[in-house]
Structure 1
Amino acid sequence: MKLYSALFVLSLIWGMSFLFIKVLLSVFDPWQIVFIRCLLGILTIVPLFLLSKQTVNWRTMPIKKLALVGVLNAGLPWGLIAWSETFLDSGYTAILNATTPIWTTMMGVFFFSVRMQWRQWIGVMIGFVGIILLMDIDAPGLAKNQLILGIVLMLIATSCYGYSSQYAKKHLQDTTVWITASTTLLAGFLLSAIMMGFTGGWHMPDHAFDQKVVLSIIGLGVFGFGLAYLLYYYMISAGSAEFATLVTYLVPVSAVIWGSVLLSEKIHPIAFLGLILIFAGVYLTGKKKRINDTLIKQDQSA
């Protein structure tokens, strides 16, 4: 029961992250949001890292590889997601974010010599049909080119997630989670600081300290990163990695509900069909990985 409670709470938190971004966009530009998000993440994780008293060999640290993962796993995709929400409702961005496992598989095939089974190819095609359905939606008050731009921005963001996941798996296996998480946030922080220089983001916006804005900042930075990752790793340790990944299916549903209730967003019925197809694609593309993980566990227990 504790595991399922953790799964439910995590889906609510991560689903609400898209709503927090939408609220913050009324005051901040996308790169300011990334800057704040990374800063709060650093302030959350660095003290925990110091308390863990882990020793770090800075001479052997793969700084360039960690920086690349940081840019592709935090800075760039977070900026693109926030930018996409200037065109799309929070529920739509959450649905598109669910395509991340599909892109992870595709990046493995194109850049990391990963082989796919026929079920996975079918899953990829089904997932793309779901994306095409989303592109054909008539969104009130939004031109077709704006809708497509928002979708493309989200797909680039999820592609970044997919590539960085494969890259980290190949090159950062011996790097601790603490180091990877800390340097990821630092790289995202530096990238957003640079981008703010180009977008004129180095100023304090009006209404930055409104109650709604402050609560959204706390929710996105502290709960969306700190508490959420504690719950995620609890589910992995007390349950399994497969159980933890179930949150992929619940977050879009949670985000759609939050957006509807708190922001009065309306989701087109076709979007739910697109979501179902994306879920089916995610399930099929992840089929090989689950089979391989099961075989590895059986070998280790033999």
Structure 2
Amino acid sequence: MKLYIALFSLSLIWGLSFVFIKVLIEPAGIFGMVFLRCLLGALVLIPFIWARRRKINFNLPWKHLIIVGIFNAALPWGLIAWSETVINSSSASVINALTPIATGFIGFLLFGKILAKKQWIGIITGFVGILVLMNFEVGALLGSDFIGIGTMILATLCYGFGSQYTKRFVVGVDLFLMTAVTLLIASLSALAGGFMVGDVPAVSEFDWGTIGALIGLGVFGSGIAHVIYYYMMTEGSPEFATTVTYIVPVSAMIWGYVLLNEPITSNLLLGMFIIFAGIYLTNRPAKKVKRSPLISKAS
């Protein structure tokens, strides 16, 4: 029951996060937004870590946490923000629903899991849903229009890899500490990237609306939400944790319509339902294959 309460709570938080991202892209920039949301998310967790300090083992698997921080936060959040410079928050959230499918595919490709026939059908069905969203204009993914739908697909692959990697390599680490550390790693990565391309946010020019969106995205959408996500991943499974994307598009569409006046089109709804069908077929317990995974525990 606790896992399902966590699932529902996370879907509400992340549904609104897509709206916050849309609001913050222009004033903060892509790298700036990722840096600020990750930094705020990490800072809000420090009091919890301090309160639990006597129970926490601070001997951390730094190499693995760096990889998790990059693939579960820095890269996908940057790609999502980049996508929302082209598509609306509702479309981004629907494509983000491919995450369970991407998680299953990455599990098969790199982590020694085998997919049943229904799961392969689910993967194909999910991509049919993406084609519906694109009006079957496949060439858009191969040209300059890749930014938007294509970058969102890359974000789901990052989530899939990060989820499987966390389950395999990050074991026994306190949830609050793991979340704070990976968010700090992601914030430093984004800061370095921002300085390299000159994408540094002018914080002094933020208005109250921007500050409110940043607090919502950083404190709730990054810090608290990530604790819930890692809890679902470690107490449940990567596949269960990523099923949050079942519900996120629904709440994101409602928030986008109410707060940003974004249209809810027939293509958007049809694509969402097809993707959900793919997720349903893909979200089956996977078996271990007899061959060794490409990424082993010794790596």
Q: TM-score scaled to structure 2, two decimals?
A: 0.83
* Paired residues for 1:182-221 under 5 Å: 182-202=180-200, 204=202, 207-208=205-206, 210-221=207-218
Which residue in 2 is equivalent to 1:298? none
Q: Is the 8 A contact 1:99 1:127 kept in 2?
A: yes
* Paired residues for 1:173-252 under 5 Å: 173-202=171-200, 204=202, 207-208=205-206, 210-228=207-225, 247-252=244-249
Between the aligned partners of 1:32 and 1:197, the Cα distance in structure 2 is 10
Unaligned segments of structure 1, at least 5 residues = 291-302
1:8-52: per-residue Cα shift (whole Å, max 9, x none)?
Answer: 554332111000010111311111000111110111112211211
Please point out which of 262, 276, 299 is paired with 1:279.
276
SS in 1 for 2:28: coil
Matched, 1:12 2:9: no
Between the aligned partners of 1:244 and 1:166, the Cα distance in structure 2 is 11
Between the aligned partners of 1:162 and 1:233, the Cα distance in structure 2 is 13
Between the aligned partners of 1:8 and 1:186, the Cα distance in structure 2 is 26
What percent identity do the matched residue pairs reach?
45
Matched, 1:48 2:45: no
Greater mean alpha carbon deviation, residues 6-15 or residues 48-57: 6-15
Unaligned segments of structure 2, at least 5 residues = 288-299
Q: TM-score scaled to structure 1, two decimals?
A: 0.83
Q: Over aligned residue pairs, what C-alpha RMSD do you find?
A: 3.1
Which residue in 2 is equivalent to 1:36? 36
Q: Which amino acid aligns with 2:129?
A: G
Which residue in 2 is equivalent to 1:102? 101
Between the aligned partners of 1:113 and 1:29, the Cα distance in structure 2 is 38
Q: How far did 1:268 drift?
A: 2.4
Between the aligned partners of 1:109 and 1:282, the Cα distance in structure 2 is 15
1:155-202: per-residue Cα shift (whole Å, max 9, x none)?
Answer: 111101101111111111233323321221011011011011022133
Between the aligned partners of 1:3 and 1:260, the Cα distance in structure 2 is 29
Greater mean alpha carbon deviation, residues 90-99 or residues 265-274: 265-274
Please point out which of 272, 281, 285 is paired with 1:288.
285
Please point out which of 151, 154, 158 is paired with 1:153.
151
Matched, 1:124 2:123: yes
